[in-house]
Structure 1
């Protein structure tokens, strides 16, 4: 079973931009009134709360757009679904990178390097009482990979691979790839298993899985409740019920953790008021601007390079992120196979940025063409302020940038193929987390010409990615590092901003240690009462 190196957070110097006014403490009376106005309850009420009555309340920045398992590689879905409601055949330890058995107890590859055989776990049942076997695993793959369902996991994890699957008996699954794929078991860790009979024409909102929790109730726009599955095959989780609610305002979420109403609160910032209950962790997320190089003026590489020089990454990290991160020069964080520590963040050089814009203008490039900077509400703390700082910097460089803030569903239309038609030149603020630990998952998705989240590429970069995919070990690491350098030197589709750190609010009544996967996969089985 292949293992990947643990993630380590590199350090980098920071440099301030304009000062940001610190938030004033919120008076207790105002907090109480605000909680009441938003429909929140108070601690010791009848609501599901942090460790009260055997139940746990988790507060998210936004409602999950869907619980469709084949969309669980999307953060807003995966944080609820993965390894909670549904489970994969194999799971990856986020700390060690080791692949571990889950619904599959073992796997091996044939001499041809193309056919993998997986052994299914006995005694597993879905929430509806039906028994799990190899046919369900085969069905899950065929439903999600290469189908017309349009699953995010297809493009992101499998890169539209052609797979042949078979279940010769109830305990055996075989998967054959067109070409040798040394990391197929790692890819399988992203496929959440569903039973045969699950809709293959439409994505489901309320899946049936084998996980420790089943869906009890989803009151759209209000809350999502999970109940402990009485027939779970594995270790029984500590909490009998979990209730998810969502509050877009960071200070409201922080107030819910300090008041004792919530057990866990996600997506906090250092100034939101959680105090000592805010726990920082390396979340493996990288923020960046994706530039549509097919549209004027972004189709000129001088403009794309100017944008890189104009954004003061160190200043953003210090003044807006309050040092919860470090400036980034590539789309994958340290600890991911292919990360190159020699790649540094582009230096902040406004004079160089202005010179490049002026040079492009003199060559006939219409640099005053309006560019839309799109960001997602609640993507990370101070996302709106970050967009404003970038807009201001690019304006000083000589570009005409307007901001458009969108909710998750609308932003995904810009992020994922086939994209919004006739949108003009777009700078899309993204946050990418490579939880697989291998740059192949990033490059096939974000850098290849036909990648589901890539706006353009080059034949040379596509060739380099294809060659890197076939390599293993140290050769694979070097090959993907070369891909990332080539992107920066010749393609410049991205202006990388920062490798982020997350901040999780954790009640004193709850014991949970966040790791690099927490942002995308908060495993409820790892959460326990403090007493």
Structure 2
């Protein structure tokens, strides 16, 4: 069957126009570990993961490793940014961007032997909505849906009550991956613990929490996206993902040959793996940069002047030069420079400690005996919750120079979501990876922000128009509003840097900065 991708009006033009930006994300595109001849099937690849996943079901998890067990209706090419066929062989987008019709690929099965059909896709999308807050990311992509129908076994129609131009790109993300009907029948907590079955080239064969995830080759796989390097089964027989949060442990394991690939090579360790039998690959994440997200339910942070002072007090270039490497970039907007629709707001994010002090003076915050500012007997003392430090000690020092005290509260990743939901924080350290400016709507569209009417109007416009120029202008307006009113304090663009043994070939990245094993092989 020939894959005919039908699109109307230009729902994807914005993403395609940014193809060069997406391609620039990678110091090596998928397969960049070099041409070592004809790929050899077989073998086990050992991969070091730098954090402990809170959930393996991408419909529920806001974070999680790319396992290539599950697939989505579409796929975003990491080189071009194009949305291409995956489980859907073609689609139509209604001229009002309210209706999306997907035609499923023939012959696709889940690894439990059941067939992919329209009813199981419908059940997946309906199930995400029913998960509620448990599926915060995936649910945001389906906000406003009025109906999901399956008019025949090969057709799924998703209808929204208002224009939702972002939805097509959303169907390429892991958050809207399709699980088997058997997986949908088990409790959500069990899916988090590894009871997930999909259509992908690998099968999740075992999971030991906080220790190891084991994937095995799926036999008979024959429906990968056209941008992948080969067709048919994956080359690797097995992938062992070791959970190793300590950087020193991963570095030592990679250098000693106990690992073949390690994620998140620390900047200070990069030279060790740049040659010497290893290759460094990096991918600058699209989406929202690493940022301090203020809790505007707290009275002190409802004051825009205080937030703007914080914005001016952060020296972003110093963060890069002190803790990171040239593979990283200081934030010049709330979106990374590799994101479609990015607008350069570097001037608004310039380091200006004198300006920060003047703003705090104007807001009535006066330096106390120890330099921390005080107003009406209360210290200007704030806290931040986070999973990994990410140079916060330096930001803590920078804020102290203008009279702001920042307390650092490091939590387990599994604890962060509950603290966030309870509002038990002043700042939350976050980034969010997605190769579409609609990531702003999913993060900030429903947040409780003060004086944000213009922001929310811009977010609604960019989600509701199929005109690429309208979306571009609206995305720029949203970024400007977020930065100028300091609803977010951007710090730096994130880079995924992995160390790869020279015996590994064909490993690469997905558009959402996951590591892809499908084309990987060992020599």
Change (3 A) 1:88 1:55: same
Separation (CA, whole Å) in 1 of partners of 2:349 and 2:517: 39
Deviation (angstroms), 1:457: 5.7
| Residue from 328, 333, 337 that aligns with 1:330 | 333
Deviation (angstroms), 1:54: 0.7
Q: Does 1:140 align with 2:124?
A: yes
Aligned pairs (5 A) from 1:70-219: 70-71=59-60, 74-75=62-63, 77=64, 79-81=65-67, 84-110=68-94, 113-145=97-129, 147-148=131-132, 150-158=134-142, 160-190=143-173, 191-197=176-182, 198-199=184-185, 202-203=188-189, 204-205=191-192, 206-219=195-208
| Residue from 417, 424, 433 that aligns with 1:412 | 417
Deviation (angstroms), 1:52: 11
Change (3 A) 1:245 1:52: farther
Separation (CA, whole Å) in 1 of partners of 2:302 and 2:325: 34
2:380–2:403 CA contact under 8 A, matched in 1:
no
Separation (CA, whole Å) in 2 of partners of 1:9 and 1:202: 34
Cα deviation per residue 1:331-357 (whole Å; 9 max; x = unaligned)?
Answer: 212242321135545121222222222
1:63–1:245 CA contact under 8 A, matched in 2:
no
Separation (CA, whole Å) in 1 of partners of 2:359 and 2:259: 50
Deviation (angstroms), 1:112: 5.5
Separation (CA, whole Å) in 2 of partners of 1:67 and 1:507: 26
User: Which residue does the alignment assign to 1:6?
Assistant: 19
User: Which residue does the alignment assign to 1:283?
Assistant: 285
Q: Does 1:512 align with 2:506?
A: yes
Separation (CA, whole Å) in 1 of partners of 2:84 and 2:401: 51
Q: Does 1:402 align with 2:413?
A: no
* Equivalent position SS for 1:289: strand
User: Which residue does the alignment assign to 1:62?
Assistant: 51
Aligned pairs (5 A) from 1:90-489: 90-110=74-94, 113-145=97-129, 147-148=131-132, 150-158=134-142, 160-190=143-173, 191-197=176-182, 198-199=184-185, 202-203=188-189, 204-205=191-192, 206-234=195-223, 235-272=232-269, 273-276=272-275, 277=278, 278-284=280-286, 286-344=289-347, 346-361=349-364, 364=375, 368-377=379-388, 383=389, 386-415=391-420, 419-421=421-423, 423=424, 426-433=426-433, 435=434, 437-440=435-438, 442-448=439-445, 450-451=446-447, 458-471=452-465, 472-489=467-484
Deviation (angstroms), 1:87: 0.5
Change (3 A) 1:301 1:182: closer
Separation (CA, whole Å) in 2 of partners of 1:290 and 1:516: 26
Separation (CA, whole Å) in 2 of partners of 1:410 and 1:516: 27
Separation (CA, whole Å) in 2 of partners of 1:354 and 1:112: 48
2:285–2:512 CA contact under 8 A, matched in 1:
yes
Aligned residue pairs total: 466
Separation (CA, whole Å) in 2 of partners of 1:228 and 1:64: 22
Cα deviation per residue 1:157-213 (whole Å; 9 max; x = unaligned)?
Answer: 23x222311112211111222123333321222211112341376341320111111
Deviation (angstroms), 1:242: 0.7
Query: More deviation in 125-134 or 141-150?
Result: 141-150
1:146–1:154 CA contact under 8 A, matched in 2:
no
Deviation (angstroms), 1:388: 0.9
Change (3 A) 1:465 1:394: same
2:333–2:344 CA contact under 8 A, matched in 1:
no
Separation (CA, whole Å) in 2 of partners of 1:253 and 1:518: 23
Deviation (angstroms), 1:460: 2.7
Deviation (angstroms), 1:445: 2.2
- Listed as ranges, the gaps of 5+ residues in structure 1 are 12-50, 378-382
Separation (CA, whole Å) in 1 of partners of 2:188 and 2:157: 26
Separation (CA, whole Å) in 1 of partners of 2:147 and 2:399: 49
Separation (CA, whole Å) in 1 of partners of 2:134 and 2:451: 22
2:99–2:159 CA contact under 8 A, matched in 1:
yes
Change (3 A) 1:463 1:201: farther
1:138–1:166 CA contact under 8 A, matched in 2:
yes
User: Which residue does the alignment assign to 1:492?
Assistant: 486
Separation (CA, whole Å) in 1 of partners of 2:97 and 2:22: 34
1:338–1:438 CA contact under 8 A, matched in 2:
yes
Change (3 A) 1:256 1:344: farther
Separation (CA, whole Å) in 2 of partners of 1:112 and 1:353: 45
